[in-house]
Structure 1
């Protein structure tokens, strides 16, 4: 039995909020720093082109200058992810963690791995060690999305086990 649309939307909102929170903790606090002094903006190691895009070239990215539309957009992506989870997960092994990790991995590969390859690596010439750090951040973001959605999408007793061998 598929979860209701209300449960799916609620799970998507939770996934989107989880992504926003983990993005704040990783990219904003560690990557860019509270005053632009984070590791991803360190001029001694970062591509000058990438620094300019984030800090100098107008218009400054919305996520920096006016983050509300990006925050809302990520929640909308979370709802889309929940519907994808609902569609795909019925054929996956049971268990909140099993399904959450699988879906988080799918989101990571299909979205974030592609993004890092195509944009920071391809367009900005970002150094590989910083791309690796960003991939770690994106991995945490994708896992938070997958796990939040998985937790809220499971309602049957057989599906609520943390891990299941079934």
Structure 2
């Protein structure tokens, strides 16, 4: 790893334990190799888990994160560790989804960011949560998130 632009990274390149909570997770960033060029970056987490804050039972979601970077990209291992830190964290679907989006936006200061949280049914009702920083910029190809509405077995 280069000792210049990546020297500040604390998690990449070695064994890193899963943080105990989202509050202790360290979200890191790296310089955008194409500053001034607008393009879309997508992360998909099809097996995201958290806990119901009332029952402690696991909740499951398919997260899709899209962003148009400004000067920074998220370092993907730190994102994976942040998402993994929710495994033992109790919060409602809305708090998890929007909290992740805001944390990324605060760290990266992207041109645009959106997150879709497609949650599997709790009490027989699936809950989908969507948040974005602003209107998507013109001229950037932003594909549909590609997650169909929950249909169960029907």
Greater relative contact order (Cα < 8 A, sep 6+): 1
Pair in the same fold by TM > 0.5: no
- Name the one with the larger strand percent: 2
TM-score (norm 2): 0.33
Larger Rg: 1
- Name the one with the larger helix percent: 1
